């Protein structure tokens, strides 16, 4: 009976070894198959990746163009608002300036300092008198 047990163990060991060799061969063949398939289909897969990249790039450019257009529209709107505001500020500044000039002229007039208009009128009268004196001096 001892021989039978040893024979069964030997058959089991041989069978297990045969199974391991068979699986190892299948794994090897699967690796070779994968390598071959990648070699054959790799070029096609690469082309598919290029096409997918082109689609994404096109969509990205479109989104960027839309965002840029929207930003430029907002900038133009802001420029318009600033221009309008600037015009209003200039009008108000002119009003303030005129009011200031009027008040300063009034204050100077009250304390007896002649205005620019007064000085110009006086200067014109002096010119007339000078011309008159020169005519009189020539006649004599």
What are the pLDDT digits (tens) for 21-39?
888 888 888 888 877 877 7
Query: Are 115 and 108 spatial neighbours (Cβ–Cβ below 8 Å)?
Result: yes
Q: Which tokens is 14 given?
A: 């041989």
pTM higher than 0.75: no
* In the chain, % of residues over pLDDT 90: 37
Residues in the chain: 140
Q: Which tokens is 22 given?
A: 């068979």
- pLDDT tens per residue across all 140 residues of the chain: 455 454 555 566 677 778 888 888 888 888 888 778 777 777 777 788 788 889 999 999 999 999 999 999 999 999 999 888 888 899 999 999 999 988 988 888 889 888 888 889 999 999 999 999 999 888 87
Report how far apart, in Å, the C-alpha atoms of 95 and of each of 15, 51, 90 are.
Answer: 110, 66, 9
């Amino acid at each position: 009976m001892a021989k039978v047990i040893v024979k069964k163990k030997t058959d089991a060991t041989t069978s297990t070894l045969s199974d391991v060799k068979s699986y190892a061969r299948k794994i090897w063949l699967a690796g070779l198959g994968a390598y071959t398939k990648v070699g054959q289909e790799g070029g096609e897969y690469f082309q598919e990746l290029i096409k997918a990249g082109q689609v994404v790039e096109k969509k990205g450019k479109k989104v960027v163009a839309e965002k840029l257009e929207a930003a430029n529209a907002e900038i133009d709107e802001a420029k318009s608002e600033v221009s309008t505001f600037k015009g209003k500020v200039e009008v108000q500044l002119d009003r303030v300036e005129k009011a200031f000039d009027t008040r300063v002229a009034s204050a100077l007039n009250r304390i007896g300092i002649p205005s620019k208009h007064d000085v110009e009128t006086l200067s014109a009268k002096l010119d007339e008198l000078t011309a008159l004196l020169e005519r009189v001096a020539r006649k004599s």
